[in-house]
């Protein structure tokens, strides 16, 4: 069984403003090569047009180190869902120069929001909209926002039904979901215990699941402990199916 992922589709750098100083393109790329990764995707946060323009700095850095790096490096972006529209639209138009796009829900609510009818509806419509958006390659840490709510269990039936609908949509358009190693670290109590069901729903619907460390520190690159704790609940989903480079990504980015 693979113990170090062959790829990572969700990595941050110091450009985000809240990553460790070790999370530079140069150091992360070098460490990925040491880990013998084949593919590394830098997917920095995009909250507005200004942060999108900042990503061009990463393109220059990636181009500067790629020739000496055995790991294929991508310039991606983790782009916020527009919390004003609530229809799966992203806060910026996606430029052609991005290699990979993650669509994520990062509403500007307290860290531990209380779910009410309004918030649930906004989250539901945003997730379902994302799952229809063919410009989004992967939905980032699906459900992490709603599971962070103290009272999410009161809404669990609607939450799980929404996941069923979104997973069916994503599977139909070939959109992946983020098997995110950082999510369980952020969740608490019952939410942490039950989050695996989200991945079970996705797997059962035929959604492609891509590994993402969501690293903000060089030491997090390649870590799989939280993903493994999810997979132990889904025995039919073998770890190698998550940690080996997916064939479609190999073909898309010309990696053998």
Please give the structure tokens belonging to residue 67. Answer: 């020739």
Compute the average pLDDT of residues 116-138: 95
pLDDT digits (tens, 9 = 90+) for 179-208: 999 999 989 889 999 999 999 999 999 999
Write the DSSP symbol of residue 79: E
Residues 6 or more apart whose Cβ sits within 8 Å of residue 41: 7, 8, 9, 10, 11, 73, 74, 76, 99, 100
Q: What is the pTM of this model?
A: 0.95
Q: How many residues does the chain have?
A: 256
pLDDT digits (tens, 9 = 90+) for 6-65: 999 999 998 888 889 999 999 999 999 999 999 999 999 998 888 888 888 899 999 999
H-only helix segments in 74-205: 117-130, 144-147, 156-173, 183-186, 189-194, 196-205
Write the DSSP symbol of residue 246: P
Which DSSP string do the residues of 127-153 spell out, in sequence order? HHHHTT-TT-SEESSTTHHHHTSTTGG
In CATH, the number for domain 7-252 is 3.20.20.140
**Phi, psi at residue 16, to the nearest 5°?**
-70, -20
In angstroms, the CA 146 to CA 144 distance is 6
Residue 146 confidence (pLDDT):
93
Residue 250 confidence (pLDDT):
98
In angstroms, the CA 244 to CA 256 distance is 12
């Amino acid at each position: 069984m693979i113990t170090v992922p062959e790829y990572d589709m969700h990595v941050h750098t110091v450009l985000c403003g809240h990553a460790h100083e070790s999370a530079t393109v140069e150091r992360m790329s070098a460490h990925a090569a040491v880990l013998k990764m084949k593919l590394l995707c830098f997917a920095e946060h995009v909250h507005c047009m200004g942060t999108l323009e900042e990503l061009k700095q990463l393109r220059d850095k990636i181009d500067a180190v790629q020739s000496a790096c055995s790991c294929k490096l991508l310039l991606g972006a983790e782009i916020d869902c527009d919390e004003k529209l609530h229809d799966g639209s992203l806060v910026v138009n996606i430029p052609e120069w991005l290699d990979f796009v993650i669509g994520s829900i990062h509403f500007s609510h307290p860290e531990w929001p209380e779910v009410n009818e309004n918030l649930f509806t906004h989250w539901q419509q945003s997730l379902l909209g994302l799952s229809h958006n063919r410009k989004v390659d992967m939905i980032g840490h699906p459900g992490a926002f709603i599971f962070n709510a103290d009272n999410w269990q009161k809404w669990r039936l609607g939450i799980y039904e929404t996941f069923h609908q979104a997973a069916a949509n994503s599977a139909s358009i070939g959109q992946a979901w983020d098997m995110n190693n950082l999510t369980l670290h952020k969740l608490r109590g019952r939410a942490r215990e039950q989050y695996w069901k989200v991945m079970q729903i996705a797997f059962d619907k035929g959604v492609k699941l891509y590994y993402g460390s969501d690293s903000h520190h060089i030491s997090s690159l390649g870590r799989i402990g939280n993903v493994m704790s999810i997979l132990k609940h889904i025995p039919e989903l073998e770890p190698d199916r998550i940690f080996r480079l997916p064939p479609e990504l190999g073909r898309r980015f010309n990696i053998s």
